[in-house]
Structure 1
Amino acid sequence: MKPSKTLVALGLAGALLSTPALAQREGVSVGQNSVFTGLVSADQIEATALQQYRQVLREAAQQNALAPANNAQLQRLRAIATRIIPHAIDWNPRAKDWKWEVNLIGSKQVNAWCMPGGKIAFYTGILNQLKLSDDEVAAVMGHEIAHALREHARERAGKSAATNLGANVFSELLGLGTLGRTVVGGGVQLIGLSFSRENETDADLVGLELSARAGYDPRAAVTLWQKMNAAAQGAPPQWLSTHPSGSTRITGIERNLPKVMPLYERARGGG
């Protein structure tokens, strides 16, 4: 499936809509990207992401689970994405060249993700089971896009590379050679990748700002996580399996709402 021309155009338009540098801008503050991102090529990570994303789409299509372009839920997701994407460049200059895609997969999984390079997937389970409003969908999408913009997968790969570097030296010292490197090393699977608590907090805050700048009520992030927590009382949804949840997370979001509400009000014409 080819990327949506509208999404690509808006991704490029972000360069023209960018606001002042992060250090001088309104909104949340989360610091610089991890130094570990510098250990792995962004091009390599994004190429790997594209390969894995294409595989997911192929498998979904084979199962007749990939939503067609005229699917109402998919159109809704893409419409929300077109409002969020122009603000991505503020957080990562590479985003202006990403070939953004949004796809919907028919599945009961309560799940969504965005891979490096702007490859987004939602599962019908998260839309249907949680009965998400547009503002809540924007909260999910903003959070997942934030992971890509902040290069959390690249950070994980960088940490793995650093570990493998140490393992290589250790293996050579012990005479383990290639076997030792293979046993200790390993690649990074980008789909379903678990992130650190710091990464998740980071994505919460950046996602909060992205949705606010796009004109979606950032307070919906609170109701979203209330729904997610309620859903987790039974079998935890897959989307929660690698995401910390609970009152601490909601408290953090509420504490940062005053920083993004003016952005939302301005986007809605109230500023």
Structure 2
Amino acid sequence: MRCLMLALLTAASQSVAQVPDSGRWQELRFPAGAVELRAEDNYIEQTVSLAAAGRLDRDRALLARVKRIANGLVRAAVALKPDAAAWPWEVHVTDDPAIEAESQAGGKLLVGGSFVARLALDDGELAILLAHEIAHIIAEHSREALSEALLDSRRDLPLEVVEERLASDFPLQLRMSKLSAIQEREADQLGMLIAHQAGWPCAAMLRFYAKLASDSTAPSLLASHPAAVSRLNLAKGMSRLLDE
């Protein structure tokens, strides 16, 4: 039944949308419902695997802290994208050292406790990290990336096939790197706005991105995030703008 639902949703027509705040236009070939169902399946698979390995939600204090901060950020995000109020938002933490912070369509968040500890993030800095991931979600970046990958194939393909190509096809990843860079900068900027509207001070933005700059390693060929120094400069500019 779930597979049939996903197939029917995937068959829906394409649409266009605008990213909250920036107004950038997106061409979205896959419907939101299909992408959200697929993301939910992936999130369940990932969290079940982490739980089986004893790596999910073991730090109850961090989980409570992340949920408390995320709740306020989600309220601010919903003000920018009202449709997000209907999404089944869900938050988990993991002590898997390979995970820093991740998001999936439809309101799914996963935070790495090792990353939070390594950067010694206070509540304001943690809010900026979470706001960046929430920004990816309300900007529907995953849906846009899948749609762009479908366009690259020049033929219609099922959502799960495009998702697999996006994860494993190096030439496709290289061609998609420009969009990835745009999305990451957009998530930084939109995330700062979300955090500010949720009541977190601009000083937290500067501290968080300063910590990233001091912690960052050399970018790889396919690094989707802008250089840490560039992100810190953006935070400085946003801080001045939001303080006006």
Checking the alignment, whether the CA contact within 8 Å between 1:225 and 1:245 is kept in structure 2 is: no
The number of aligned residues is 215
Q: What amino acid is the match of 1:62?
A: A
The 3 A distance-change label for structure 1 pair 88 and 191 is farther
Q: How does 1:226-237 map to 2 (within 5 A)?
A: 226-233=210-217
Alpha-carbon RMSD across the aligned residues, in angstroms, is 2.9
**Matches of 2:203 and 2:167, distance apart in 1:** 28
CA-to-partner distance for each residue in 1:161-193, whole Å, 9 max, x for gaps?
2122x246xxxxxxxxxxxx79xx942269999
Question: What residue number does 2:77 align with?
Answer: 88
Checking the alignment, whether the CA contact within 8 Å between 1:114 and 1:147 is kept in structure 2 is: yes
- In structure 2, stretches of 5+ residues that fail to align are 1-17
Question: What residue number does 1:209 align with?
Answer: 193
Q: Which has the larger radius of gyration?
A: 1
Q: Which has the higher contact order (CA 8 A, sep 6+)?
A: 1
Q: Give me the identity figure in percent.
A: 25
**Matches of 1:112 and 1:244, distance apart in 2:** 16
Q: Secondary structure at the match of 1:132?
A: coil
Question: What residue number does 2:141 align with?
Answer: 152
Q: Secondary structure at the match of 2:109?
A: strand
Checking the alignment, whether the CA contact within 8 Å between 1:104 and 1:124 is kept in structure 2 is: yes
Cα shift at 1:255? 1.2
With normalisation by structure 2, the TM-score equals 0.78
Q: Secondary structure at the match of 1:162?
A: helix
Cα shift at 1:109? 2.9
Question: What residue number does 2:11 align with?
Answer: none
Cα shift at 1:107? 1.7
**Matches of 1:109 and 1:199, distance apart in 2:** 22
Q: How does 1:114-263 map to 2 (within 5 A)?
A: 114-164=103-153, 166-167=154-155, 186-188=161-163, 196-233=180-217, 241-261=223-243
- In structure 1, stretches of 5+ residues that fail to align are 1-21, 23-27, 169-180, 263-271
With normalisation by structure 1, the TM-score equals 0.71
Cα shift at 1:108? 1.8
Checking the alignment, whether the CA contact within 8 Å between 1:84 and 1:214 is kept in structure 2 is: yes
Checking the alignment, whether the CA contact within 8 Å between 2:219 and 2:227 is kept in structure 1 is: no
